[in-house]
Structure 1
Amino acid sequence: MKRMIMMLLVSAAVSAPAMAASVTNKDADTQVLVIVEGGNRAEVALEPGSTETICPSGCFVTLPNGDRIALNGGEEVEIEGGAASVK
């Protein structure tokens, strides 16, 4: 029984990061995102061409153009022209 519980915990720990969203900045300028996750607010600066993993348990993201999107995790977001496309 202990072995089965450990296997489930390890499996959950390994698969958790895969559920996070990834954001790629395709603009020529640094873009700053405001992320609200679990009541905590943070700003993330994305350099041109960089990708950041965010929101492992869902969040709201305010984009540079003022749009606000909800992410559950697992999405791929691309920022271009200050706007986002979610895949």
Structure 2
Amino acid sequence: MWKSLVAAIAFLAVGGSAFGASATNKDAETRTLVVTEGGGKTELALAAGETAEFCPTGCFVTMPNGDLEALTGSETIEISGGVARIK
């Protein structure tokens, strides 16, 4: 019983993070997204070649060029040439 409970908690912890939006920086320099979620703003700095998951339940994202986009949590953002595109 105890092992089943631990396995279920581990599955939910890993599975929950797999459903967020993701952003990949294909540029040679760091790019920053501003994520607004639950009333709070966070800067997400992505180094060259880095990919990060965020926003599991929806958020607003300010792109490097200043555009504001609403995300549901399943999108992929690709940054290339200083421009972010939602795929």
Common fold: TM-score over 0.5: yes
- Percent identity (aligned): 52
Separation (CA, whole Å) in 1 of partners of 2:11 and 2:53: 20
Q: Are the equivalent residues in 2 in contact too, given 1:18–1:74 (CA < 8 A)?
A: no
TM-superposed CA distance for 1:16, in Å, is: 2.2
Gaps of 5+ in 2: 1-7
Moved over 2 A (4+): 8-16
Gaps of 5+ in 1: 1-7
Is 1:40 the equivalent of 2:37?
Answer: no
TM-superposed CA distance for 1:82, in Å, is: 2.0
Separation (CA, whole Å) in 1 of partners of 2:43 and 2:14: 26
Is 1:58 the equivalent of 2:58?
Answer: yes
TM-score (norm 1): 0.79
- Paired letter, 2:40: N
Which residue is equivalent to 1:15? 15
Separation (CA, whole Å) in 1 of partners of 2:70 and 2:48: 23
> Larger deviation: 66-75 or 46-55?
66-75
TM-score (norm 2): 0.79
Tell me the C-alpha RMSD between the 2 structures: 2.0
Which residue is equivalent to 2:3? none
Is 1:72 the equivalent of 2:72?
Answer: yes
Counterparts of 1:19-34 in structure 2, within 5 Å, are 19-34=19-34
